[in-house]
Amino acid sequence: MAVRWLAEIGADDIETVGGKGASLGELTSAGLPVPPAFIVTAGTYREFIENAGIADEIHEAVDVDVEDSKALARAQERASELILETPFPEELREEILEAYAEFEDGPFVAVRSSATAEDLPDASFAGQQETFLNVDREGLLERVRECWASLFTQRAIYYRKQQGFDAEEVNIAVVVQRMVDAEKSGVMFTSHPSTGDPRIIVEAAWGLGEAVVSGSVSPDNYVLDRETGRVAEETIATKKLMCVRDEESGETIEREVPEGKRTERVLDDGELAELIELGERVESHYDAPQDVEWAIAGGETYMLQSRPITTISGGDIEEADSSQMEGIADGNGQGQSGAFADRDEGDEPDEGEELVHGLGSSPGTVSGTARIVTKLDQLDKVEEGDIIITQMTTPDMVPAMKRAAGIVTDEGGMTSHAAIVSRELGVPAVVGTGNATATIEDGQHITIDGERGSVEAGAVTSDEGGEGPAEHEPIEDVRPETPVKPMTATEVKVNVSIPEAAERAAATGADGVGLLRLEHMVLSLGKTPSKYVADNGEKAYVDEIVQGIRTVADEFYPRPVRVRTLDAPTDEFRQLEGGEDEPHEHNPMLGYRGIRRSLDRPDVFEHELRAFRRLYEMGYDNVEIMFPLVNDANDVEAARRLMEEAGIDLEKRSWGVMIETPASALSIEGMAKAGIDFASFGTNDLTQYTLAVDRNNEHVADRFDELHPAVLELIGSTIETCREHGVKTSICGQAGSKPKMVQFLVNTGVSSISANIDAVRDVQHEAKRVEQKLLLDSIR
Ligand code: PEP
Ligand code: MG
């Protein structure tokens, strides 16, 4: 049997159907209503390669020195080629298509890789494998084969070799699941997310769940008492929009809700009773409160997904099965006390004395052993719980930053690499101290306060007077926990710079990603794009971009993810292999970066655009494209032409620009006419260029004021013009996390605000408060 249906599968079948297949099977066997799916088993893949006589060739192809990047690239290419170019045996073709035919009406399906046991330990690795949405009969077999081929990405080959997995044992199953055309859908918490009270909270809207998950409509809200089964509270919202699936393309599109249904209650008592029952069953099956996505289609209630409730707290993040995130969650706790275990070794003369002072750029207080890092090859010495002291962090340092309990830099401001990445990782940081690398000694025990910006000698003393390491307070723990996120008309999104932070970002409940910076992904390849392509081929480069974006797009789907094309200054590129060819610039901030570089090198830019096209082909219709550092309509028109040449259908996609220069703010009308869908304020740059204050120069950091009237004037007039032209507006600079900026923007009519991970919840509350005040003022 090449395929197996969910009903025949249990949790023990992981070897045959992979992790994803087994968990869907487990829910189905527990009697929970999961949309039907069949699995092309792992054995089928194995038979396919063995019967075709390509198994040995594949294993030989991937048996390379994985430290040799050229050999690794060739390995991927050869293994994929062998799989993709081997025809399906007739019998197998028929068996898969016959299984598909059992869905009866030829529906769209999702085709997802489901890795077997060997691949499970590292979720980030499992996430490397392919998933395709909205696949029809015609595309099905090809997509299955592409899932198989995705076993052999460079990262996967590398990882397996490192972990000592026998390549001959590696298998992959593929889940083919019917996509549900919901009439109503939403989410449900089976218990109160923060108190655990026996109350079920349901949010519901018309159409597909995307509308609720993405926050594009205010759904009805029902609070149900589990003990009595009664509705304890309900709020019926006005639902203007709904998401439906386009019959032709299978893509999700927005439609207006017919007038008569807008204020109608979405769920009747019978449906609510069914959801209560479903909630009870799924919670008792897992013995833990669940966050469930559900849908009702043709009178049936389906469970699309269930996971343990993750309110935004350190403990919950540990629960999520990403080993990388675990590192983040306990890097501040376990590791830190580990560092203290050997505190006697160090010499700590002036306990409590301030050694250096800088900008508190990622909150939290932590103690640990200082590790001075001056060259990349010293990163190995940073152990779990150490505090990195360096001139300025670089993308290569991210793995060490994840291990660290804290970060201190000589250089940089609130929008520097160190500040951005440490905030995303939830690691306390102090930047721009001027002289930390010279003042602090390697091995010295220190305490940093990422709020006040202080770095002190020794361990902090607790309030009770007892001595000991200060517990680092994960920022999430001090956030108010509310059962349902505050519903705001202004969308509240989140910024992401490193794909590893995607899960933490999604746990905030943000309405999407307002800025995904591509440069952190690209710079972490260690080579300039041209060098990387020369060494590894274009496909490998495009694959890297696709994989990085997918990690985030998957985590947020169907919520939108706004990806910004590359924007790295030449001084950052110069540190990479191939960087010797970078021009020497007097002031890189004013130089060859952003869209001006992309337009000057369309041959390099094309690779990025190809990655976008591939993502769209794979069904990631939640990805949006944003161009950095544009000045005027000429820039926009040139970028638009290149997108069209790359085969991106602009009618279907959302694309726009960042407003980062006064010129762009003053040229907004022309850009609106050139067809942009949105404009997003990059206040880090807009402030630097308006006030002539280098954002990374600690000597003028006190003059960096995003709320300066000149900056606000540019923002305000841009919003006004955009509103006249139907262009959405947003902010994705650091200032979007500041309450004063939120107040200004909501009052001025911005469409969305994208904040740092740790600020999302506060921004939601602030936006709601301002919106309510506006409403009150209008009726008083
Ligand atoms: C900005 O300039 O505000 C911005 C968000 O972009 P970056 O910080 O990456 O330059
Ligand atoms: Mg910028």
pTM above 0.85, yes or no: no
Q: Which ligand is nearest to the CA of 682?
A: 1
For ligand 2, the distance from its centroid to the CA atom of residue 695, given in whole angstroms, is: 10
Query: Cβ distance 464 to 516 under 8 Å?
Result: no
Predicted confidence band of residue 671 (pLDDT cuts 50, 70, 90): very high
The per-residue pLDDT for 339 is 25
Residue 637 has pLDDT above 50, yes or no: yes
**Minimum-distance ligand 1 atom for the alpha carbon of 686:** 2
Give, for ligand 1, the residue of 626, 658, 752 to mutate: max count of ligand atoms closer than 8 Å to Cβ.
658
H, E, C per residue of 159-200: HHHHHCCCHHHCCEEEEEEECCCCCEEEEEECCCCCCCCCEE
The per-residue pLDDT for 451 is 85
Nearest to 402 by CA among 419, 421, 420: 421
Which of 130-144, 288-302, 321-335 is predicted with the least confidence, judged by mean pLDDT?
A: 321-335
- pLDDT tens digits along 209-254: 776 655 556 678 888 988 888 888 888 877 888 888 887 777 778 8
For ligand 1, the distance from its centroid to the CA atom of residue 94, given in whole angstroms, is: 52
Residue 567 has pLDDT above 50, yes or no: yes
**Minimum-distance ligand 1 atom for the alpha carbon of 734:** 3
The per-residue pLDDT for 119 is 43
- Say which residues have a Cβ less than 8 Å from residue 319's Cβ, sequence separation at least 6: 308, 310
- As for ligand 1, residues whose beta carbon falls within 6 Å of it are 415, 515, 517, 567, 660, 682-685, 732-733
Say how far residue 109 (Cα) sits from the centre of its chain: 24
Query: Cβ distance 204 to 68 under 8 Å?
Result: no
- pLDDT tens digits along 338-347: 222 222 333 4
Give, for ligand 1, the residue of 658, 685, 693 to mutate: max count of ligand atoms closer than 8 Å to Cβ.
685
Residue nearest atom 1 of ligand 1, based on CA coordinates? 682
Q: Which ligand is nearest to the CA of 684?
A: 1
Which of 209-213, 453-457, 523-527 is predicted with the least confidence, judged by mean pLDDT?
A: 209-213
Residue 149 has pLDDT above 70, yes or no: yes
- For the chain, give the number of residues: 780
For residues 437-447, average pLDDT: 91
**Residue 262 burial (CB count, 10 A):** 16
Ion ligand 2 — residues with CB under 5 Å? 660, 682, 685
- pLDDT tens digits along 456-508: 998 764 443 333 333 433 434 434 455 466 788 999 999 999 888 898 888 88
Q: 9 in helix, strand or coil?
A: coil
Query: Cβ distance 433 to 356 under 8 Å?
Result: yes
Backbone angles phi and psi of 135, in degrees to 5: -95, 135
- Say which residues have a Cβ less than 8 Å from residue 780's Cβ, sequence separation at least 6: none
Give, for ligand 1, the residue of 684, 696, 741, 753 to mutate: max count of ligand atoms closer than 8 Å to Cβ.
684
The per-residue pLDDT for 43 is 94
The set of catalytic residues is 417, 732
Residue nearest atom 3 of ligand 1, based on CA coordinates? 682
Residue nearest atom 8 of ligand 1, based on CA coordinates? 684
Residue nearest atom 4 of ligand 1, based on CA coordinates? 682
* Biggest CA-to-CA distance, the chain: 79
For ligand 1, the distance from its centroid to the CA atom of residue 331, given in whole angstroms, is: 28
Nearest to 710 by CA among 687, 693, 729: 687
Radius of gyration of the chain measured on its C-alpha atoms: 26
For ligand 2, the distance from its centroid to the CA atom of residue 684, given in whole angstroms, is: 6
Determine if residue 509 is left, alpha or beta; phi over 0 gives left, psi from -120 to 50 gives alpha, anything else beta.
left
For ligand 1, the distance from its centroid to the CA atom of residue 755, given in whole angstroms, is: 12
**Minimum-distance ligand 1 atom for the alpha carbon of 497:** 9
Say how far residue 678 (Cα) sits from the centre of its chain: 20
Residue 676 has pLDDT above 60, yes or no: yes
- pLDDT tens digits along 726-778: 999 999 999 999 999 999 999 999 999 999 998 998 999 999 999 999 988 88
Which of 448-462, 512-526, 610-624, 706-720 is predicted with the least confidence, judged by mean pLDDT?
A: 448-462
